[in-house]
Each structure stands twice: as C-alpha cells, then as structure tokens.
A and B are shown apart, each in its own frame.
Chain A
C-alpha cells in the first residue's frame, strides 16, 4: 500500500538551532516529491519539487534532499518566521499523496 509518513509531528527549535524534517514513503513509481509550507489560516504554499534520488534543492534557509525511500527538509539557522506546518506530497502519476505534516515552532 502506498504511504507517506512525516516525522516528527511537531518540532520546537530555538532560533538558530538547525534541524531536519523527514518524509518517508513507500510508493510504486514515484514521479515527483513536493514540499509545501502552510501557515495558519492559509492554503499550502509550494516550496520544492524533487524528481530523482540524489537531487537537492535550496531556498534561503531550507534545503530539500531525496533518496529512494525518504526526503529531508533541512532548516539551517531557523528564524521565528520559519514557524509553520511543512507538508510533504508525492505523485505517482495516477495518485497524489499528502503527508500529515510537521508543525515547526521556532522560538526567539
């Protein structure tokens, strides 16, 4: 059965304390892995797409990586404005699967 699992469910970091969020998956025929950021009361905002193992994408303090079984979203020296829920999603071509997200809180 195709599955997407995100961990941890919630993460509290001090400002400047780097960490990683995990998205592990068991799907057949991965066509793309997507990371989104969702702020309270808003729709998810697209961050990155990764298509093949070994691929990396960066944007400001965020870096996404992909292996054959999981993806990491690395957050370097986070700031309070990085507080949000981060969602991982997968496309197999026929289906689109969302994880339940990691709620990140960055404390000043």
Chain B
C-alpha cells in the first residue's frame, strides 16, 4: 500500500513569493497533520485536520500560513509572501484517528532565498 506522499520534495523560492506544498495521505486516514522541522530541531506542530475541517490551527506561526484539505484526502499548505525564516522541512503525517500512529511523508525541503 502507498504511504504518505508529499510534493515537491524540494522547493526553492524567492523571498516574497507564495508557495504551495501538497500532501497525499494514506487512503482511509481521517486525521492529517502538518509539521515544520528546522535544521537540527524537533518537530513543530502547525495544524491538524479531522476530515476536511481543522479543529486545531494553533501551531500556524502567522497569517501568512494557511492550509486546506479537500475530499477528506489531499491537503495543501500555502505560505504567502515567504520569508527566509520559513526555510525548513515541512512534514505531513496521517493517522486513522487522532490517537493513533502517525505515518509521515518524506517532507518538502523549502529554501527561501
């Protein structure tokens, strides 16, 4: 069975541009999470989806960050007007429910020049 898929694997952008990061979770997983991991750091929680709704957006660092999920499946994380401090690896995970094992994608490495 397919795991969590993220695209692109690498993204280089210029400061001020908008970027979209995509996550395709494991089929049937209702819970989906976005995390950010800066070099040598731990996982920073961004947002949690249950189905298409996001009951927990507490980790989004600013209003430049937004995310949506459609059809209870694919999710897109959008960063507007990117800044250099947004450079990091963005990881997506999915699980059957919020209390279950989270399975991670390989991440998108974002570099803002």
Residues of A that sit less than 8 Å from B by CB: 31-32, 34, 36, 41-46, 49, 87, 89, 91, 93-94, 96, 98-101
Q: Is B73 an interface residue (CB 8 A)?
A: no
A91 touches B99 (CB 8 A): yes
3 smallest A-B Cβ distances: which pairs?
A43-B104, A100-B42, A98-B43
> Roughly how many angstroms separate A32 CA and B95 CA in the complex, as a whole number?
13
A-B contact pairs, 14 of them (CB 8 A): A31-B99, A32-B100, A34-B102, A41-B106, A43-B106, A44-B91, A46-B103, A91-B98, A91-B99, A96-B98, A98-B42, A98-B43, A98-B45, A99-B42
B42 touches A49 (CB 8 A): no
- Which residues of chain B have C-beta atoms less than 8 A from A100's C-beta? 41-42
Chain B interface extent, by class: 20 to 34
Residues 58-87 (chain B) with a chain A CB within 8 angstroms? none
Most buried by B among A36, A41, A43, A94: A43
Considering only CB atoms, which chain B residue lies closest to A98 in the complex? B43
Residues of B that sit less than 8 Å from A by CB: 4, 33, 35, 41-43, 45, 48, 91, 93, 98-107, 109
Minimum CB–CB distance from A5 to chain B (whole Å) comes to 11
Partner of B107, one of A31, A36, A43, A45: A43
- Which residues of chain B have C-beta atoms less than 8 A from A43's C-beta? 4, 91, 93, 104-107
Given contacts A44-B104, A93-B99, 17 further A-B contacts (CB under 8 A): A31-B99, A42-B107, A44-B43, A44-B91, A44-B93, A46-B101, A46-B103, A49-B101, A87-B43, A91-B99, A91-B100, A96-B48, A96-B98, A96-B102, A98-B42, A98-B45, A100-B42
- Which residues of chain A have C-beta atoms less than 8 A from B35's C-beta? 98
> Roughly how many angstroms separate A91 CA and B98 CA in the complex, as a whole number?
8
Minimum CB–CB distance from B9 to chain A (whole Å) comes to 10
- Which residues of chain A have C-beta atoms less than 8 A from B45's C-beta? 96, 98
